[in-house]
Structure 1
């Protein structure tokens, strides 16, 4: 086993944006109104959510412009604030036409790509909340932003029956980012020193990761020890839906293979790698 490496994929934001705009440009009017797994949003509303994210990044991050918001005291208050901001934005943009939505996505998305390229990936930034409360390097926040764009675009593709961006070039960084939530998922689990749980995501974009209990904390590694205390195997297409709350743990368990300590293994199916 070895420690995971930084996820450096700023070069993939522009191709991801091009893929989204190409997809949206092909949609018939009825497809824009198709329901998505990101309930209760339609395809158009989910596209609006992506636009809102880009505008927020440019305003807050690039321009340093902040508006007063609600107090964040814990995880639940953060989720409530994010949900409120998202709903108000999507509601306010209902009058935007699909054509204008695409034009705005191209404009904002291009500037976001430029902004992301300007950042030092190794500088210290804010926390990635679903992975912990400590400040995280900028590359981790960029990886989180990448997963947001990938999984929402995938939800749109699923809704309109289009092939997904499942090539390892696009998909592998998503899974690698999602599993960084494993130590946080196990943070309240008490176990003897050296206890290890292995998670394998099968498929050409997948891999194997382990969390090991060392000196009172859980640490993430790439690979598998000689004999883990619990091992979980999930298909990659099930894994991303589970980690983004598209399906629940019970449904994922039906597609999983487990060995060793079942209680420890089932905890991995509680992992969530999104805020809301």
Structure 2
């Protein structure tokens, strides 16, 4: 499991092109289809994607600070605050037609990608990748996090509309999986084990791969070693892997929904793998 930087900006541009093409092909009724993202309809996902692009441009590129209150209320968690922002935006965009939303999205996404191209990948990021346990991140990881966000929401729309996905080829999907799995050491941070204990997760399919973490004296770290005897080996088909990593559910719920997931070895640590969530959820 490498921790090498992933330069996701070119991939992000390609996924957004596929998103725009997909949205242009939808019938009016398909905008109201339910998705696997909580209670969101397709149009709510599109509104959320638009919000992500325009908010990033406003806050980071333009250094704009919205009028108060512009942060969590007293006693409100960051996640609750983000959900409140998302809900208020999605309610406001109910006034927009699909064509208007697509037009706005195409304009915003073009500027969004160009802005990311201007950043030094090894420079300090505007936002840390909190789901990987980071308090500060480099730009490549922040942009990579944006890539996983755009990728999985686009895939949700493909799934909801029954269209054949154009973003699950290895070139686009494998880097997304690799970025998701950067959360694995943080997910295990409160799990103890003897030094040298290893955990392997394998995503099967053409876009999949093998990822491993190993316990040192005081933490879990990524490892590329192939000669270890893991205490648990978790196998997840690529068709459901992205859904496992982007929604908070119990291991029992996931194993019931996706019986093709296999845990071979230490069950408790295997279930911890399934508890990894690589989004703010």
TM-score by length of 2: 0.92
The structural deviation recorded for 1:38 is 1.1
User: Aligned partners of 1:242, 1:202: CA distance in 2, in Å?
Assistant: 14
Number of aligned pairs? 274
Partner residue of 2:270? 265
User: Aligned partners of 2:236, 2:226: CA distance in 1, in Å?
Assistant: 15
**In the TM superposition, what are the counterparts of 1:56-205 in structure 2 within 5 Å?**
56-67=55-66, 68=68, 69-71=70-72, 77-125=77-125, 126-164=127-165, 165-205=167-207
User: Aligned partners of 2:39, 2:209: CA distance in 1, in Å?
Assistant: 32
The structural deviation recorded for 1:146 is 0.4
Partner residue of 1:11? 10
Q: Which runs of 4+ in 1 moved over 6 A?
A: none
User: Aligned partners of 1:162, 1:248: CA distance in 2, in Å?
Assistant: 29
Question: Kindly tell me: are residues 187 and 73 of structure 1, through their superposed partners in 2, closer, same or farther at Cα, counting changes over 3 Å?
Answer: farther
User: Aligned partners of 1:246, 1:166: CA distance in 2, in Å?
Assistant: 22
Gaps of at least 5 residues in structure 1 are none
The structural deviation recorded for 1:133 is 3.3
Deviations 1:25-72 (A, max 9, x none): 111110011111112111111101100000111001111112242348
When the two chains are superposed, the root-mean-square deviation of aligned CA atoms in Å is: 1.8
Deviations 1:248-274 (A, max 9, x none): 532433222222211111110100000
User: Aligned partners of 1:240, 1:246: CA distance in 2, in Å?
Assistant: 12
SS at match of 1:114: helix
* Kept after mapping to 2: 8 A contact 1:38/1:246: no
The structural deviation recorded for 1:104 is 0.2
* Kept after mapping to 1: 8 A contact 2:50/2:105: yes
User: Aligned partners of 1:142, 1:225: CA distance in 2, in Å?
Assistant: 33
TM-score by length of 1: 0.94
